[in-house]
Amino acid sequence: MATSASPSPETSCVVTTQNFLVLNISIRGLQKGLSDHGKIISEVQSVMRASSIPSPRNISVATMFTIMKGSPIAK
């Protein structure tokens, strides 16, 4: 005997979180005009090129670090 369907799950907040990280732009202080999403760091890029199997995880870790710190990384 089959069971009845479960009620639909609640709406996920993942979309809201992703939009916040991409669309949130600093408008005050030293970070005026800088966006919160990160860019690949030249040191990370050189290591990825030297690696026989480059992994996109290296990019996302650097990106998460810059977002969590909330300040630009010196180049």
Model pLDDT for residues 26-51, shown as the tens digit of each residue: 555 555 555 555 565 666 667 666 66
pLDDT bucket at 61, cuts 50 / 70 / 90: very low
pLDDT of residue 5: 74
Model pLDDT for residues 4-13, shown as the tens digit of each residue: 877 766 665 5
Planar angle of CA 67, 69, 70, nearest 5 degrees: 65
Q: HSE, CB side, 13 Å, CA atoms: give it for residue 10.
A: 2
pLDDT of residue 3: 78
